[in-house]
């Protein structure tokens, strides 16, 4: 069977389409960047000899220490794994992703380690792909939406029940979670890559430190498949730090991977992110070293810079500010590191870093400017007049269209009274690339108390506009705004037999709107009657937000009697999204049934992870949220495909 790793790989848009449900299928990040003039500036590689500048003319070196000519591409075994683009391979090898002449993936295929595998990365521009271009609004939406989705209505997630019956249910749920973890721990040792990697991530999401030892053993076992080891590394990052001796073992295992230059690059970068998620002060020196190092690829240094922000180390703020400023000479050569420093500072709360980000929002380096604007979107508040004025200037005066797109989102998140007029102008007068971002900005603004009227224009145009792509953005904007007058239009769009992408966006917007009574029946029909993975995936997300119990019954039927293994897998993921012990019991039965196909059992592990995750995926989402998506590394690409 072609490798269909449940938590890392892209999947086919044809025969494997339904499995795309488990990977965030419609999300296809652009190829990773290749900075002009070389990969990174000269500097020592972590735990090894100098590898950043020993080539002729100060050029970058390969991981093995030999000089290269021209920019380093992620193709070849040295790029982080056995397959093209740094992705792991099946015994039979991987299949490269079809691309346009510009190098932008038109869609993932089975066996490809990352989107864009086998292609020389370029700096793509909007419109160069037959699929959504790198400037398309969904490039922001997919990696950022988890922080905007509310799962409080999930079945079984309601808290605060102090009645005797409520305490009995709580005890029953605790017993069920323990049973689920036992089954997942057994699945962790399975030979099948899909089952083992899905189980590893699920154990991390369950958050039981007692599983640390088993995950460490998988991480250290060089004989295990690379995706399974990467899953174990990420799972260790999700486990809580409990102040006991096991913390030291986990930290040491992750740090040893990072220091070992012979390990695959992506595994090392994944381990760096895990150290950042754990936030242990003892890891700060290694992360500082990794952030400043020069390597043949950006994955590890970029991950380390972001990890310093994820960890929240107060003492490393000066280092991050220095990285954001960059070297006095050849700043362009270090633009990726500078951009990731902006991302790291998006997690900060101090005034000095906010001022630095405002200054960087006008930087001459477009990549840094964009990254700073994204970070300001995470930091800005309705009382932060200075930042709002910077964002308004960017939106109205900046020539770079991407910076204006990002400023639209940031202004909407601010909730400031001045934002509405600027966003309305950008929406009504902007070009076709800016309008969707401005529309979503208005939807975000309308979520703030006293700014509800900002949604009026997007509700109106959702009904009247003919452009399907813009209407998709308008549907999301209306859902984000929670304007009840938009609910009937969303139901009509979701139930229509038109563009499946638009139907999918409308379906998710129904969930965002919390349209339970009239919207839930439509979403159920989309799952059972529409044979389109995009529509089914978004409808399942919507039902999860609505906590729809009737949807559980339908999905359990699909899990048992779905016409294909992919339909069964899609149902497993949807059950995990909706939640509840009843859904979990069905997923457990599937995981433990060795007579069922491995791919379906692996999907059951993914579903269990979704169900057990008390953060609803938000912790992992921090890796790519508020980050300049034009500069995603292969490691970020992969982490963002995890459900």
pLDDT in tens, 568-583: 777 888 888 888 888 8
pLDDT of residue 555: 86
- Cα–Cα distance for residue pair 591/452, rounded to 1 Å: 45
pLDDT tens-digit readout, 378-390: 999 999 999 999 9
- Cα–Cα distance for residue pair 40/516, rounded to 1 Å: 51
Higher-scoring residue by pLDDT: 88, 612: 612
pLDDT range class, residue 26, cuts 50, 70, 90:
very low
Q: Please say if the pLDDT value at position 276 is more than 80.
A: yes
Phi, psi of 44 (to 5 degrees): -75, 140
Sign of CA dihedral 73, 79, 81, 86: negative
Helix (H, G, I), strand (E, B) or coil at 6: coil
pLDDT of residue 46: 74
pLDDT of residue 37: 43
pLDDT of residue 572: 86
Domain chopping of the chain, boundaries: 173-627
Question: Among 289-303, 350-364, 500-514, 542-556, where is mean pLDDT lowest?
Answer: 542-556
pLDDT of residue 635: 95
Helix or strand run (H / E) with residue 165:
helix 164-187
- The stretch 383-405 carries a mean pLDDT of 97
pLDDT of residue 209: 94
What pTM value is reported for the model?
0.82
Q: Please say if the pLDDT value at position 500 is more than 80.
A: yes
pLDDT of residue 44: 59
Q: Please say if the pLDDT value at position 439 is more than 50.
A: yes
Q: Please say if the pLDDT value at position 346 is more than 60.
A: yes
- Average pLDDT value for the chain: 80
Give how far the C-alpha of residue 475 lies from the chain's centroid of Cα atoms, to the nearest Å: 21
pLDDT of residue 561: 77
- The stretch 613-625 carries a mean pLDDT of 88
Distance (Å) of CA 226 to CA 62, 80, 144, 223, 368: 21, 10, 27, 9, 32
* Complete DSSP assignment for 92-156: T---PPPB-TT--BS---TT-SSTTTTS------TTSSSS--TTSTHHHHHHHGGGT---TTSTT
Q: What are 93's strand-pairing partners?
A: none
pLDDT of residue 42: 42
Hey, which of 85-89, 125-129, 224-228, 557-561 has the most confident mean pLDDT?
A: 224-228
pLDDT of residue 347: 96
- The stretch 289-296 carries a mean pLDDT of 92
Which CATH architecture best describes the domain 173-627? Alpha Horseshoe (1.25)
Higher-scoring residue by pLDDT: 635, 112: 635
- Cα–Cα distance for residue pair 51/212, rounded to 1 Å: 33
pLDDT tens-digit readout, 164-203: 544 445 556 788 889 999 999 999 999 999 999 999 999 9
Here the tokens at position 254 are: 């992750």
- Cα–Cα distance for residue pair 99/147, rounded to 1 Å: 31
- The stretch 371-380 carries a mean pLDDT of 98
The CA radius of gyration of the chain, in Å to the nearest whole number, is 23
pLDDT tens-digit readout, 123-144: 333 333 345 788 999 999 999 9
* Complete DSSP assignment for 34-96: --TT-SS-S-BPTTSSB-SS-SGGG--B-TTS-B-SS---S-SGGGTSSSGGG----TT---P
């Amino acid at each position: 069977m072609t490798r269909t790793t449940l938590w890392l790989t892209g999947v086919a848009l044809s025969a494997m389409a339904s499995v795309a449900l488990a990977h965030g299928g419609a999300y296809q990040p652009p190829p990773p960047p290749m900075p002009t003039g070389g990969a990174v500036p000269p500097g020592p590689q972590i735990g090894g000899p100098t590898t950043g500048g020993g080539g002729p003319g100060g050029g970058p070196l390969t991981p093995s220490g030999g000089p290269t000519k021209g920019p380093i591409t992620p193709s070849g075994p040295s790029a982080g794994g056995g397959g093209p683009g740094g992705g792991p391979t099946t015994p039979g090898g991987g299949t490269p992703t079809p691309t346009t002449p510009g190098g932008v993936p038109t869609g993932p295929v089975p066996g490809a380690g990352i989107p864009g595998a086998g292609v020389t990365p370029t700096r793509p521009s909007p419109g160069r792909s037959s699929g959504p271009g790198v400037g398309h609004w969904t490039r922001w939406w997919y990696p950022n939406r988890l922080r905007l989705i509310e799962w409080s209505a999930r079945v079984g997630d309601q808290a605060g029940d102090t009645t005797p019956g409520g305490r009995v249910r709580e005890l029953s749920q605790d017993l069920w979670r323990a049973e689920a973890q036992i089954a997942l721990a057994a699945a962790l040792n399975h030979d099948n890559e899909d089952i083992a990697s899905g189980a590893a991530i699920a154990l991390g999401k369950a958050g039981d430190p007692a599983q640390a030892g088993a995950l460490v053993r998988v991480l250290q076992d060089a004989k295990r498949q690379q995706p399974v080891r990467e899953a174990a590394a990420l799972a260790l990052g999700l486990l809580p730090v409990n102040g006991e001796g096991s913390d030291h073992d986990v930290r040491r295992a992750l740090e040893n991977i990072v220091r070992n230059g012979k390990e695959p690059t992506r595994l090392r970068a994944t381990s760096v992110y895990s150290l950042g998620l754990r936030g242990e002060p003892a890891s700060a020196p290694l992360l500082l070293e990794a952030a400043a190092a020069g390597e043949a690829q950006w994955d590890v240094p970029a991950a380390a810079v972001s990890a310093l922000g994820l960890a929240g180390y107060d003492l490393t703020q000066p280092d991050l500010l220095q990285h954001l400023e960059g070297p006095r000479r050849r700043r362009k050569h270090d633009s990726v590191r500078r951009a990731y420093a902006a991302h790291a500072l998006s997690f900060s709360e101090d005034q000095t870093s906010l001022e630095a980000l405002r200054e960087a929002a006008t930087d001459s380096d477009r990549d840094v400017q964009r990254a700073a604007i994204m970070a300001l979107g995470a930091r800005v508040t309705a009382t932060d007049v200075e930042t709002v004025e910077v964002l308004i200037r960017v939106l109205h005066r900046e020539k770079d269209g991407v910076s204006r797109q990002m400023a639209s989102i940031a202004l909407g998140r601010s909730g400031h009274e001045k934002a509405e007029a600027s966003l309305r102008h950008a929406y009504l007068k902007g070009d076709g690339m800016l309008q969707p971002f401005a529309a979503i900005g208005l939807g975000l603004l309308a979520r703030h108390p006293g700014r509800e009227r900002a949604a009026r224009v997007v509700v109106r145009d959702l009904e009247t506009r003919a452009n399907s792509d813009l209407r998709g953005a308008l549907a999301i904007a209306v859902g984000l705004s929670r304007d009840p007058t938009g609910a009937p239009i969303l139901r009509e769009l979701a139930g229509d037999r038109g563009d499946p992408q638009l139907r999918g966006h409308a379906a998710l917007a129904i969930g965002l709107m919390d349209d339970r009574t009239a919207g839930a029946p439509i979403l159920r029909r989309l799952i059972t009657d529409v044979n389109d993975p995009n529509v089914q995936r978004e409808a399942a997300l919507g039902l999860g937000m609505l906590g729809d119990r009737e949807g559980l019954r339908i999905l359990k039927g699909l899990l048992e009697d779905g016409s294909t293994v992919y339909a069964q897998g899609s149902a497993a993921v949807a059950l995990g999204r909706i939640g509840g012990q009843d859904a979990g019991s069905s997923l457990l039965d599937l995981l433990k049934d060795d007579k069922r196909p491995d791919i379906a059992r692996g999907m059951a592990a993914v579903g269990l992870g979704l169900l057990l995750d008390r953060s609803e995926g938000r912790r992992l989402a921090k890796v790519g949220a508020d980050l300049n998506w034009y500069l995603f590394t292969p490691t970020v690409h992969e982490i963002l495909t995890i459900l």
